[in-house]
Amino acid sequence: MFEVTRYATAAQSIVEAGRLLYERGWSPATSSNYSARIDSNHVAITVSGRHKGQLGAGDVMVVDMEGLPVQSNAKASAETLLHTVVYQLFPDVGAVLHTHSVKATVLSRLIAPGAALELEDYELQKAFSGVATHEGVVSVPVFDNTQDIPALAAQSRDWFSAHPEQPGYLIRGHGLYTWGATMADCLRHIEAFEFLFECELETMRVRS
Ligand SMILES: CSC[C@@H](O)[C@@H](O)C(=O)COP(=O)(O)O
Ligand SMILES: [Zn+2]
């Protein structure tokens, strides 16, 4: 079983993240889901369908690493498996955030099928944990959207097993997934991605 105080801390970090991400316009209309690790077997995650700008403690529940509810009759996020795959792959990850910003959604539709978004020569790449210079490439795969979440979870597991250093992915016409050692790291990653997505879109606009 999990420690209640650890659950409360994780749930509070999710509630606060929701307020921030909704205010920035990155989690509109009940979209998005957020999670935080409690321990090696348990994750706190948003209940499905809740308004992410108005989360309270009752809107966060516990699942195990298979995505199954623990001590709850609520329905966990429809995309729970996309979170648990990340925690299973990376024991150091403490938080996973999924958002639905306009820029992530539009940019994901402009990347050719099968291609990844390659972010390079941006100083802000250093906002990603483990990146020390603008001189590398941050590769963001764009997976096709699907309602088959187990299939998407398997696809993300395969890609990130081969590319463990990359910080997130896009789902076409849908949104962004990213993670970090702490909720603060994860929020910084969302903010960095949003800045970089805007740069990419603006570059395309100026060039067209
Ligand atoms: C409001 S449509 C968005 C959903 O289909 C889904 O993509 C999403 O992000 C939220 O699903 P949820 O089940 O609330 O975690
Ligand atoms: Zn979504």
The structural domains of the chain, with segments of one domain joined by +, span 4-207
Q: Which of 21, 22, 26, 32 to mutate to test the pocket of ligand 1 (most atoms within 8 A of CB)?
A: 32
Q: pLDDT tens digits, residue range 160-190?
A: 999 999 999 999 999 999 999 999 999 999 9
In this prediction the pTM is: 0.98
C-alpha distance from residue 121 to each of 19, 167, 187, 202 (Å): 32, 16, 22, 15
- Which atom of ligand 1 is found nearest the CA of 32? 9
What is the Å distance from ligand 2's center to 100 Cα?
6
Distance CA 154, CA 167 (A): 17
User: Taking each helix axis from N to C terminus, what angle separates 4-23 and 183-207, rounded to the nearest 10 degrees?
Assistant: 20
Ligand nearest to the CA of 80: 1
- Which atom of ligand 1 is found nearest the CA of 100? 9
- What is the residue-averaged pLDDT of the chain? 98
- Which atom of ligand 1 is found nearest the CA of 33? 15
Distance CA 6, CA 44 (A): 10
**Percent of all residues in the chain with a pLDDT value above 70, rounded to a whole number:** 100
What is the Å distance from ligand 1's center to 123 Cα?
32
**Cα angle 88, 67, 59; round to 5:** 120
Q: pLDDT tens digits, residue range 105-152?
A: 999 999 999 999 999 999 999 999 999 999 999 999 999 999 999 999
Burial of 4 (0-12, 13-18, 19+ CB in 10 A): exposed
* Atom 6, ligand 1: residue with shortest CA distance: 31
Was 134 annotated as part of a binding site?
no
CATH (residue range 4-207)? 3.40.225.10
Mean pLDDT over residues 86-91, rounded?
A: 98
What residues form DSSP beta bridges with 141? 116
Q: Which of 14, 30, 75 to mutate to test the pocket of ligand 1 (most atoms within 8 A of CB)?
A: 30
CB atoms within 10 A of CB 177: 27
Was 100 annotated as part of a binding site?
yes
